[in-house]
Amino acid sequence: MPSNPQKPGVKTTEFWITIATVSGSLATMAQPFAELHPYVNAAALLTAGVSSAAYALSRAKTKTGS
């Protein structure tokens, strides 16, 4: 049994940082200026994906205790 009890995912700072990053990325993609530069949507999508993957890996590592 781990010495530190696990917090539910929704109570972690990683979760809220991920929510903020993904929300910001989606809001950026919805802006009218996004069409002016060809890489804005790709960068926003990549940022959201990397943030979500990092959160998932962080939770998996926490839950396995390593």
Question: pLDDT in tens for each of the 66 residues of the chain?
Answer: 455 677 787 888 888 888 888 888 888 878 877 677 778 888 888 988 898 899 889 888 888 876
What is the pTM for the complete model shown? 0.68
**HSE on the CB side for 64, CA within 13 Å?**
6
Radius of gyration of the chain (CA): 15
Q: In which element (H, E) is residue 63 found? A: helix 40-64
In this structure, are residues 63 and 6 in contact, taking their beta carbons and an 8 Å threshold?
A: yes
Domain residue limits, the chain:
11-64
Asked if 50 and 65 touch (Cβ cutoff 8 Å), the reply is: no
Q: What is the pLDDT of residue 1?
A: 46
What is the maximal distance between C-alpha atoms in the chain? 53
DSSP state of 36: T
